[in-house]
């Protein structure tokens, strides 16, 4: 069964809109796990506009499932990950000022950098995943870095899904097959939601994990967090 990791960045975004600690991101992480999430994802950015570095340190002790930290591998980020030792680190090529992740790694260009960073994390027993597009060359070179997994950037799939679901999924099936043949585990994330998640999972049955934040937290405003997490889990069954 594909695991659901809930990204709680949006909880922190709401909190940061006002001084104080409402909503409490630690309580959110605890509840997501109680309500059936298989993991918690956070993506601390240098400007700390949602999840703060201190949040990451505070969340670690309360994780009872899996902890996934996403981010660009700056020196500060690497230091944080090595101190927290999450189950998984997902490396993204985000510039510091992007609103959200919007591209995968050029693993040909950055292969040396990524190889060194992956080796650093693996020494501490931290599973690594590289955020990539569906270009098979980038996936093949991701495998050469020593990473354990790749996370497929699914925004193009989500954007095209309502128009032609078959065409939308085709490049992701091919990409997932390339990854599997290269010995990589396959994760996915970005703009997956209750409309498109089941079809994605059905067509890539060896999908290990999805990381979902924006859509899930938005749905929870209307449907309730526990109910929403269970609805997403059913799409992955």
Domains and CATH numbers, the chain: 3-236 (3.20.20.70)
Residue range 24-36: average pLDDT? 98
pLDDT at 97: 60
Given 66, 70, 151, 209, the catalytic residue? 70
pLDDT at 230: 98
In the predicted structure, residue 20 carries a pLDDT above the cut 80: yes
Token pair listed for 146:
């020593």
Q: pLDDT digit string (tens) for 67-114?
A: 999 999 999 999 999 999 999 999 999 766 655 566 799 999 999 999
Q: Are strands 39-42 and 149-153 parallel, antiparallel or unpaired?
A: unpaired
70 is catalytic: yes
Q: Does an H or E element contain 53, and which?
A: helix 53-59
110 is catalytic: no
Q: Output the pTM of the full model.
A: 0.95
**What are the backbone dihedrals phi and psi of residue 207, each rounded to the nearest 5 degrees, phi first?**
-60, 125
Burial of 95 (0-12, 13-18, 19+ CB in 10 A): exposed
CB 8 within 8 A of CB 25: yes
pLDDT at 102: 64
Q: Name the 3-class secondary structure at 146.
A: coil
151 is catalytic: no
Q: pLDDT digit string (tens) for 118-147?
A: 999 999 999 999 999 999 999 999 999 999
Given 50, 110, 190, 209, the catalytic residue? 190
DSSP bridge pairs for 70: 90
CB 210 within 8 A of CB 230: no
């Amino acid at each position: 069964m594909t695991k659901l990791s809930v990204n709680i960045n949006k909880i922190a975004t709401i909190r940061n809109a006002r001084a104080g600690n409402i909503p409490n991101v630690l309580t959110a992480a605890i509840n997501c796990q109680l309500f059936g999430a298989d993991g918690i994802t956070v993506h601390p950015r240098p400007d700390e506009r949602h999840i703060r570095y201190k949040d990451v340190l505070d969340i670690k002790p309360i994780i009872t499932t899996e902890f996934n930290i996403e981010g660009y591998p700056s020196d500060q980020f690497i230091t944080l990950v090595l101190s927290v030792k999450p189950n998984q680190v997902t490396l993204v090529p985000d510039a510091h000022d992007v609103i959200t992740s919007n591209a995968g790694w050029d693993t040909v260009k950055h292969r040396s950098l990524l190889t060194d960073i992956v080796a650093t994390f693996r020494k501490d027993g931290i599973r690594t995943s590289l955020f990539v597009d569906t270009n098979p060359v980038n996936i093949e070179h991701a495998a050469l870095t020593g990473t354990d997994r790749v996370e497929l950037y699914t925004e193009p799939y989500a954007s095209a899904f309502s128009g032609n679901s078959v065409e939308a999924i085709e490049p992701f099936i091919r990409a997932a097959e390339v990854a599997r043949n290269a010995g990589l585990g396959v994760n996915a994330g970005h703009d997956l939601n209750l409309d498109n998640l089941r079809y994605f999972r059905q067509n890539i049955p060896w999908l290990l994990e999805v990381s979902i934040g924006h859509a899930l937290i938005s749905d929870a405003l209307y449907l309730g967090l526990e109910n929403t997490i269970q609805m997403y889990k059913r799409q992955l069954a």
